[in-house]
Structures are given as structure tokens and as C-alpha cells.
Structure 1
Amino acid sequence: MNKPTLLILAAGIGSRYGGNKQIDGFGPTGETIIEYSIFDAIRAGFGKVVFIVREEILETVKEIFLPKLEGKIEVGFVIQSLASEVPAEYFRPDRKKPFGTGHAVLCAKDHIDGPFAVINADDFYGKEAFQELGVFLQEKVDPELHCMVGYALKDVLSENGTVSRGICETDVENRLIGMTERTAISREGEHIYSREEEEPFEIDPDTPVSMNCWGFHPSFFEEAERMWKAFLPLHQDNLKSEFYIPTIANTLIEEGKGNIIILPGGKTWFGVTYPQDRPVVEAALSQLHQQGEYPADLWAL
């Protein structure tokens, strides 16, 4: 049985945070959020981790993680650049904005040959998420069956500003029907609203949302590449266009080429969007150590 791979999206710029939050230390002894995800993934049976990074932080990421992970899990690195997977006729040297999460995953297609999970570098997902992903990815072999760990909207907001979330619609079998990206989401009293339009849109607090915690059969790469080739000629003049994982997921569902099961592992989440989120994350990680969820030194063994 192939051990799944953990693909970590760590190429983001972190404009609202104001720095490289992927490699900032938040744990009691300076642990990055990524380290907790890798620790939980190893416990859940993952056998390899692949980092998607920008070229300018590649060496720093290697310096941080390679000594800690040596002998514990296979490690790979992939650079996501504005030229990655872009044929010459579609390359725009004046583009500044990255192409997004779907493009990031596609950059790793030559480095993964089995089932894999995808996560953000700056989100803490909780051990239950990786346990569910580990079981699913090691037991399900249907090339048209994928998964996503769902989180309740009320549990994934920031007290320091608005957020964007993928709002999920599901059927009675807990399969994803479709996902809508909602922006400018915040809690207002006992209600949650998205104020991306003039009229506020209220969202049920228990609505499942995507926190970019996915599990895919390797067939995902072929489908994503097909959609990417269709995306480029349509958007080459839009320098802010992005190719998202939810776009790929929605298209797979609409075309009848894939089913995505919503897994129940979304128990604990916290993340870093704004600088003010930092003390909240530090306190949460400290508490988890005190409760015995994590050892004092993650990599002592």
C-alpha cells in the first residue's frame, strides 16, 4: 500500500500579514505551523512531504526543515514561478500576481506518483484532519474519488478582519455538489455575513467550508492539466486571473468526472491572515503542548 504524499502550498506572498508567515515561528520553541502539519501527517501514515515555494525562499525553507525531517519522512521541493507550466506563447513578463492554488498543485505533478493531500502552509488543521486524510488516501483507489476535510464556518473566522472562504453545498451522502467563493466574511453579533456586494449575504454558522485541506487520487493531475491548458488562452490578458483548486473541483463535479467526499476531520483550525492573529495562534499552540497533544520537542525522536 502506497503511503500518501503531503503537498504543502508555501509559495504565498502573505501581503496582509506583511511577511513570510510560512516560515515564521509560532510554537513555544519557535516551531512553524508547517511543522505541526508534518508531525500530524507522519502520525497518520504519510510517507513524503513536498513543499511548493517561491525561488527566493527555497534555501531558507531547506535550512529550516531538512535537518528536522531527516530520517523521518522523504522530502521534496518544487518552485512555483510565473513561468512554471506556462507555454512561451502565454507567458506575460508584466504579470506580478501568482496564478493561485490550482497552478501550485500542477507544478508538483512530476514529483508525486500516488495519492496525495494538499494543505496551506499557514493553517493549523488538527490531528483529526490528517487521520481522516490518511485513512481515505490509503484505502480509496477509485481514480474519480477525491476528498476534502470540511470545517464549520463559525470555527474558521478571524477576530481581526474579514476572510474569504469556499462555501460548500453538499448532498445527503456528504458529497460536494459545488463550492462558491465568498469574500469579506465576518461575524456580526450572533450572525455571519459576507459583504462582498452592496447587500450583505447571511451564511449559516454551521455551513461546511473549504480551508484548502484536500485529498486527491493522482488522476487529479491529468484533469487539472487539461483545465489549465483551457484556462491560459482565455485569461492571458487578465494579469490578476487565478487558477484555483475549487475551480478544478467544481469542474470535475459538473462534468461528471469526479466525486469529492467531505470528510469529518475538521475539529480544530486556526491560521494567520493578519499580524494580529499571531498571539492567538501562539496561545493555541502553547495550550496544545500543555495538554499533551504535542511533545515539547516535535523532532526529538
Structure 2
Amino acid sequence: MKPTLLILAAGMASRYGSMKQIDGFGPNQETIIDYSIYDAIQAGFGKVVFIIKEEFVENFRAIFDPKLAGKIEVDYVFQNLDLKQYGIDYEIERTKPWGTAHAVLAARNTVKEPFCVINADDFYGLDAYQKMVKFLTEDVTSSNYSMIGYEIGKTLSDFGSVSRGVCKVSADGYLEEIIERTKVMYSGEAIVYEEDEKQYPLPYESRVSMNFWGFTPEVFKHAEEMFRDFVEANKENPKSEFFIPLVAENLLSAETADFKVIPTDSKWFGVTYKEDKPIVQASIDQLIKDGKYPENLWK
């Protein structure tokens, strides 16, 4: 059974200023998602599931259904604020959904095979998809999950600080801890993170999580139980978010599952800020010139 690609595409991207999930970056207005799916098909994924807000479904279908027809199976699931579906019998006033792990739960009744999770607005590179497919078809179990680890120096923006989950990795390549650094940036030639108005160096080769995770469907049960506890603990905190690394940390601390950190040398491209867009476009243009992608991706 081929693994499934789960794409987190429900966010509205406040810092970027527009709906970047369906913004055009390629020479024929290809989205970053187009390149992700193209790489996933080449690597051997059998299905793609979009996690979106229901009001965006017609936009997404119009963009992706025609070009993906006959190439890969496609499905859509919706992230919403309804708590009753998780057995929570009270309402909480919020303007945003509950975060990335809550988004993954939207696929719990749809995905029945090993799967990986990615962000819609991140360009990960073919190598990462190939390594994840190998893991999901050969090594994944309900107690052996994975994440792709990027070199931090290949994930930064030239236009401001970024948040990065810096990974502590064991000698045999397994995740021990993710430390969230909320202000990571260049300082001259060096990479630093800022904390309490002080700057501390980070090695260029430090592995970071860019939200590229590999699971089996058993994770849904664990995540749903954690989500109910999280909602109860945070019902007075309307901005709290239930992130995938919280699930990973919980599984690690309970010794329920391990996470293999799969290293990749790929360069990550992202559009955290509007000013990042020309750089991403130039990077894609160069990959086309280098023969990594056809100029017209789906022709």
C-alpha cells in the first residue's frame, strides 16, 4: 500500500498577508503545493489529502483537481471549530482553529495507511519525499515514527527572524527533544537565536523540524486523547494551539513511540514574509534550468 501525503493548508498566513497556499510561484503560476505533489508522485506516494477550511474547497478543487486527475488520488478534509466531534460537550469562543495537530485530526476518518504531514507553504525538495516514502514503506510502525531533519542554515529567511524547532538527536539518529526557538536569524555570517534580549549561536548543521512528519493511523487515537486534555487545560486561553511537536513530545515522554530523524541536505524554501516570494521564484527557476523540474509542471 502506497503512503499518503497529508497537506496542512487551512491557515490564512497572517504575516504573509494573503492566501499563500494558492499563490503562484512557478513560470506558469504553479503553487508551492504543485511542486510538493509533483515530488511526492515521483517519490511514490499514492494519495494526497488536503486539510483546508471548508469555504476554500471550491478554490482548491478548481486549481488542483484538473491537473492531478489520473496522476494521484485526491481527497479533501476540513478543519473546523466543532468540538463535539471529539466528545467535548461545551463550546469555546475562538477565531482560529487549534493548530497543526488539530488539523491532522481532521483526517482521522479518511487516512487508513501510513502517511506523512507537510505544510502547504513549504518547499521541501525531492530528496525528503524519497526518504520519507522509504521509511513509510519499510520501517514505520505504530511505535516507530519519523521526521525529516533539515540543516538550520538551509531554512532561514533573509528578511527577518523565524521560529524553528531545534532538534536534539541521539547518536543513533532518534529524536530526544525539540526546543522551540522563536527568534532565529542571521547575525553577519553566523546563525543565532535570541532569548531574553541576548543572542546565542546555533551551528549551521543543527537539525530542525520543518513540520515534515511520518506516522501510521494509530497516531490519531493518541492525538485525539491529547487534544481533549489540551482543550480542557486551555479553555480560558483562546490563542493556545495544539501543535504536532506537542504530540511528539507526549509520545516520547510516555515511551509510546520513537521518532527517527531522517537527515536531508535539501534546501528548504519558504514564504514567511512577502519579500521571500522573489527568492522562492528565483530558486524554482534555477531548479528548472538545472533540469530538476519541467518548465510546465503538469503538461
Contact 1:46 1:134 in 2 (8 A): yes
Name the counterpart of 1:89.
Answer: 89
Name the counterpart of 1:78.
Answer: 77
Aligned to 2:198, the other structure's residue is in SS state coil
1:184 equivalent in alignment to 2:183: yes
Q: CA deviation at 1:41?
A: 0.6
Name the counterpart of 1:257.
Answer: 256
Equivalent runs, 1:240-279 vs 2, <5 Å? 240-279=239-278
Aligned to 1:212, the other structure's residue is in SS state strand
Code of the aligned partner of 2:129: F
Name the counterpart of 1:19.
Answer: 18
Rounded Cα–Cα distance in structure 2 between residues aligned with 1:51 and 1:286: 26
Name the counterpart of 1:42.
Answer: 41
Aligned to 2:23, the other structure's residue is in SS state coil
Do the aligned partners of residues 242 and 77 (structure 1) sit closer, same or farther apart at CA in structure 2, a change above 3 Å counting? Answer: same
Q: CA deviation at 1:296?
A: 2.0
Equivalent runs, 1:1-301 vs 2, <5 Å? 2-83=1-82, 85-87=85-87, 89-92=89-92, 94-300=93-299
Contact 1:192 1:203 in 2 (8 A): yes
Code of the aligned partner of 1:272: V
Q: CA deviation at 1:98?
A: 2.4
Q: Which moved more, 1:8-17 or 1:77-86?
A: 77-86
1:207-266 alpha-carbon deviations (Å, 9 max, x no partner): 100000111122111111121121111111100000000010011111100010011234
Rounded Cα–Cα distance in structure 1 between residues aligned with 2:242 and 2:201: 27
Q: CA deviation at 1:102?
A: 0.5
Aligned to 2:61, the other structure's residue is in SS state helix
Code of the aligned partner of 2:89: E
Contact 1:106 1:221 in 2 (8 A): yes
Aligned to 2:80, the other structure's residue is in SS state coil
Contact 2:147 2:213 in 1 (8 A): yes
State the identity %.
49
Aligned to 2:264, the other structure's residue is in SS state coil
Contact 2:153 2:204 in 1 (8 A): yes
Rounded Cα–Cα distance in structure 1 between residues aligned with 2:264 and 2:3: 17
Rounded Cα–Cα distance in structure 2 between residues aligned with 1:12 and 1:258: 28
Rounded Cα–Cα distance in structure 2 between residues aligned with 1:124 and 1:113: 26
Q: CA deviation at 1:120?
A: 0.4
Do the aligned partners of residues 74 and 234 (structure 1) sit closer, same or farther apart at CA in structure 2, a change above 3 Å counting? Answer: same
Q: Which moved more, 1:185-194 or 1:278-287?
A: 185-194
> TM (normalized to structure 2)?
0.96
Q: CA deviation at 1:86?
A: 5.0
Rounded Cα–Cα distance in structure 1 between residues aligned with 2:201 and 2:56: 39
Aligned to 1:104, the other structure's residue is in SS state helix
Rounded Cα–Cα distance in structure 2 between residues aligned with 1:153 and 1:13: 25
1:121-142 alpha-carbon deviations (Å, 9 max, x no partner): 0000000000001111011242
Aligned to 2:7, the other structure's residue is in SS state strand
> TM (normalized to structure 1)?
0.96
Aligned to 1:211, the other structure's residue is in SS state strand
Rounded Cα–Cα distance in structure 2 between residues aligned with 1:269 and 1:136: 20
Do the aligned partners of residues 154 and 66 (structure 1) sit closer, same or farther apart at CA in structure 2, a change above 3 Å counting? Answer: same
Q: CA deviation at 1:87?
A: 4.4
**Number of aligned pairs?**
298
1:135-170 alpha-carbon deviations (Å, 9 max, x no partner): 110112421011111001111010011100101001
In structure 1, runs of 5+ residues without a counterpart are none
Aligned to 1:225, the other structure's residue is in SS state helix
1:256-281 alpha-carbon deviations (Å, 9 max, x no partner): 00010011234121011110000000
Contact 2:86 2:224 in 1 (8 A): no
Q: CA deviation at 1:50?
A: 0.2
